[in-house]
Structure 1
Amino acid sequence: MTRVRHNDYGVLRPPATGSWRPALTVSVVIPAYNCAEALERTVGALARQTYPAELVEVVVADDGSEPPVDVPGARVVRVAEGWGRGAARQTGQLAATGEVIHWLDSDMLLAEDHLEAHMRWHHLIDYAVVIGDTRFVDAPGEEGVQSEYTRKTLESTRRLKDAGVSAYLLHTGASTSVRADLLRAAGGVDTGLNMAEDTELGYRLAQAGAVFIPDAEARAWHVGPSTVMLREREVHRHNWSYLGDLIPDLRWLRNHPRRHWLVPYLRVVVVAAAYEETRASVDSALAGTLTDAAVTLVGPWGKLTGERRSNLDDPLLDLRLLHNLYAHEPRVTFAESAPATAAPAPFQLHLPTGWVLGADTLAKLTTRADKNLLGLMCVALAEGPDGVVTARLERTAAFARAALFEGGADDLVDEMFGSEWVSGNEYGFAVAKDAEPLTGDPAKWRALAGRRLGEIQTLRAEVERLQGEVERLSAAEPPPAEDDAHGPFRSLIRHLRSAG
């Protein structure tokens, strides 16, 4: 299986439609709600596909239609729990039996080789997410146009080859396909979402190692405008209320300086050891300028039972103290072993116990990794008897993709994403005893900055008033005499003007 670097799928050479022999089965999953006429048209188009009929099943997830959906050529499953597009898509994919899941909206018309165009990519690699070329039309038979967002994104990224880690933003449920195993590894569809579920799923597929491939030959037509086309501002207002919690990549939705977010941007892994050293490491991770960082504290927490013990001579005292300290901190999670992945968080930092982070360490590391699309940053901290003491920043998507192949994970990550060694001093790492104390109150400094801004605005208003006064006096006749009482006033205005 070919290894794709970042999202540059140009190394793949799919066969021309009609010139190859398919083998994979595909389940076309269509969520439906009170759309019988459009649904019959869409399912009818599937019956005319060039992809072998014996390899195709059509699953319609009926989201409470009245009367219930009954469409020839499809297996209908009723949504039993929840409602909306997320619940319908998840119900449909759980009922599907195909090796590939092909999402399709109920109001789509497909070119006869649409499925075949999708499926040729899935025969090349196991981690493709194929995006159909969807055009919007007012009536069947029209050529239609792409959405403006899709058109601009494809033009600016060489059809997503240069999109890097943001390629998932073009993922849509209108006509996309993915291997069933990859979909389920990513966690399936969030049943609680009835809008933007496709964007959120795209993000999690990216963290699972997916490559996003827009295929111009997978032609499809959406009858009627999308909801975004009709009510864009309202759609964004609705979706952005919760996408900030679910997609940490959308940094501009996380502009609050202190609040807690459901999915962290970065998870720091610390192994519990001596109380003071471990506390220093954990606290430094929670006190940085990257406020949506979380900590996984690894230790044998199951040994902490409630039987009578000596409070001060407990052999597990340090472990117990750490549990006491962070039991109610929402950004700290206790784990028995180091997690294999930080998913759905995009980054994970393994921090040696007793080492602490500077205020900007996490922000600087992730900025560097994003700038160069790195999958791994190894931070050299010190040289000890067992070798170099190292902190590791790992990109979730890079290590998930590397896990699809045989070989050393670090080497595979370097090949497909890139890796880099840096110095701990350069990024603000220090041992606990040499670190600056975690003092200071950001709120206090913001309040002070606010007061200073208010003072500046007051002074600017006074300058504007004085400038208006001098302009009024300058227009007055006769010209002022040398001993004019306003002379000092005019000098002040000239001074203020020259000072900006």
Structure 2
Amino acid sequence: MTGRLPDGRWLLPDGRCVLPGNRWDLAPRDVDPPTVSVVVPFYEQQPQLELVLAALSVQTHPATRLQVVVADDGSSVPPDVGALEGTVVVRQEDRGFRAAAARNLGARAADGSVLCFLDADTVPEPTYVDRAVRLSAGAADVVAVGRRRHADLAGWSPSRLLEWFDGGAAPTELTEPRWLRDAYRESDDLLHADHRSYRHVISAVLTCERDFFWAVGGFDEGFVGYGGEDWEFAARAWERGGVLAHVAEAVAWHDGPDWAERSTSDRVGKNAEALALASRITDPAARRHGIRFALPDVRVVVDTDGHSAATLLVTVGAVLRDLDATIHLVGENAGALRASWGDADPRIVLGTPGTGARSRIVVHIRRPITAEPGALGDRVAELDDHRAGRLDVVAGDDVIVEIRSVRADARAQRHAAALACDAATLAEELFPVLRRDVATTALELLDEEPRLDW
């Protein structure tokens, strides 16, 4: 049985649900435990790894449905995983800090339907796996982040750790990052996530279904050095239709303080992370220095039929004034009209976006328009604010500007066939559709030749 349920969920043939919006709270919890692969990236951390493996040996998740994959990032001595049943070790060469590549290496060796990423210095409580994977067991596309707490575990043995879990003396607890706690509280554990919530996803306690992980493309192996790959993955997962969730009851303990609490500040390292992210994440906060990057936030398709060179110039100019965008001119006369400008703007190209073209938003402009400064940016912001799938600007019965969320379309396209549903219709069912009259938007149809002189 498949189809739409009264609360907006869609039931897949395998019994899981496709959720509307970011409604992880609608995911069923009373489901059979999935097969899980815990992927642990490792480098020269044998004592800490032994604590993690001891903790994994006492998980409440059924042992017969739990695999552990240790992905070694080129340690001089291979990790010793002891006798923990079902543990696989995979290794890559030491070519610098390559946690993203190590996690992907581990994921390729995974058998489980759900991937549970856990750092080698982050010790899960006995209920961690069971709680962390529950959302992914019942719903598609979920990217869940557990709660990472901090403790001083230096010198601890596996036996002492297990005594703690059995009610014995606890370690000294260290400060938990307040900014992250506040973000989870203010977003209701990411229930009200938006396109900037990637900042609240941590790969040390990250869980998602294996198929969705690879549909997103895994971690970007171009990251070499500490940090950034989790934010980039989360931003891309959101773009591809992911449901972000914080599972506060899934607790794992990081051995040592949070980066911000450490005694030394690596500003050069943090700047390297920011530089790596700016070209990959279209958040305006990452792009506040005025540099244009190859990956645009918005792709704009402009139909050139009915345009003169002047109306097309005004239309395109209105877009580029407002948006971090690449413009695609589509129409038989597109090349000739653009050639008359004599410009060399690399943000403007001829032809429709290719299948590999990425962006967070797609805008289709069907008629010549002009706009007050900020008007198109305001419409994109409105789409974001309402977590909508589409916003149509209309003149009478005609849609003159269509603004679409790539996230909404990606989720619908991924599941439409299994649900025997048209993808466009499914997107409208899963995400709100907004409709605005052109007269209320500070946009205006260009019905006559504009003045270009000065």
The TM-score, its normalising length taken from structure 1, stands at 0.72
What is the match of residue 103 of structure 1?
A: 117
Q: What is the RMSD of the two structures over their aligned residues, measured on CA atoms? A: 3.3
CA deviations 1:206-243 (Å, max 9, x no partner) are 11111122222212111111334325672543322232
- Aligned-pair CA distance for 1:334: 5.0
Moved more, 215-224 or 52-61: 52-61
1:246 correspondence with 2:280:
yes
Task: Give the superposition deviation at 1:172.
Answer: 0.7
State the 1:331 CA deviation.
2.1
Query: 2: CA distance between counterparts of 1:278 and 1:28?
Result: 59
Which deviates further from its counterpart, 193-202 or 263-272?
263-272
Corresponding residue of 2:89: 76
Matches within 5 A, 1:414-425: 414-425=428-439
- Asked whether the 8 Å contact 1:274–1:318 carries over to 2, the reply is no
- For 2:363 and 2:444, the matched residues in 1 are separated by 13
- CA pair 436-138 structure 1, distance change in 2 beyond 3 A: farther
Which is helix-richer, 1 or 2? 1
Residue equivalent to 1:296: 328
CA distance in 2 between counterparts of 1:34 and 1:333 reads: 49
Given candidates 1, 4, 9, the residue that maps to 2:24 is 9
Q: Secondary structure at the match of 1:369?
A: helix
Provide structure 1 residue ranges, at least 5 long, that are not aligned to the other structure. 300-315, 441-500
Q: In the alignment, is residue 180 of structure 1 matched against residue 210 of structure 2?
A: yes
Partner of 2:3: none
Aligned ranges 1:268-417 → 2 under 5 Å: 268-271=300-303, 276=308, 280=312, 284=316, 288-298=320-330, 319=335, 329-333=345-349, 335=351, 343=358, 345-352=359-366, 354-355=368-369, 359-381=373-395, 388-403=398-413, 404-405=415-416, 406=419, 407-417=421-431
Which residue of the other structure, out of 48, 59, 67, is the alignment partner of 1:49? Answer: 59
Give the corresponding residue for 2:47: 37
More strand by share: 2
What SS does the corresponding residue of 1:192 show, helix, strand or coil? coil
Q: What is the identity, as a one-letter code, of the residue corresponding to 1:217?
A: E
1:159 aligns with 2:189: yes
Q: Closer, same or farther in 2 for the Cα pair 1:290/1:261, shift >3 Å? A: farther
Which residue, 133, 140, 143 being the options, matches 1:119? Answer: 133
**Hey, what does 1:142 align to over in structure 2?**
171
292 and 215 in structure 1: CA distance in 2 versus 1, 3 angstrom threshold: same
Q: Give, in whole Å, the separation in 2 of the partners of 1:318 and 1:263.
A: 23
CA distance in 2 between counterparts of 1:326 and 1:183 reads 44
Contact 2:141-2:241 at 8 Å conserved across structures: yes
Number of aligned positions between the proteins = 410
Structure 1 contact 289–363 (Cα < 8 Å) conserved? no
- Counterpart contact for 2:152–2:255, Cα < 8 Å: yes
Letter matched to residue 128 of structure 2: H
Distance between the aligned counterparts of 1:135 and 1:296, measured in 2? Answer: 47
Q: Which residue does the alignment assign to 1:21?
A: 32
Distance 2:342 2:117 in 1: 43
* Distance in 2 between residues matched to 1:11 and 1:152, nearest whole Å: 23
**CA distance in 1 between partners of 2:265 and 2:405 (Å):** 32
Which whole-Å CA distance do the structure 2 matches of 1:270 and 1:436 have between them? 20
| TM-score, structure 2 normalization | 0.79
The offset of 1:248, in angstroms, is: 1.3
* Change in 2 beyond 3 A, CA 1:435/1:327: closer
Q: Distance in 1 between matches of 2:139 and 2:404?
A: 23
Give the 3-state SS of the residue equivalent to 1:289 in structure 2: helix
- Greater shift, 277-286 or 412-421, is seen at 277-286
Residue deviations 1:377-432 (CA, integer Å, cap 9, x gap): 0111465xxxx243210112222233335335455444443221112343424337
- 1-side partners of 2:296 and 2:58: how far apart? 46
Distance 1:318 1:154, change over 3 A: closer
- In the TM superposition, residue 199 of structure 1 has moved relative to its aligned partner by 0.9
Question: Bigger relative contact order, structure 1 or 2, given CA contacts below 8 A and separation 6+?
Answer: 2
Give 1:171's aligned amino acid: V
Q: Does 1:170 align with 2:200?
A: yes
**Out of 100, 104, 110, which is 1:86 matched to?**
100
Query: Distance in 1 between the 2:373 and 2:247 partners?
Result: 44
Aligned to 2:5: none
Structure label with greater radius of gyration = 1
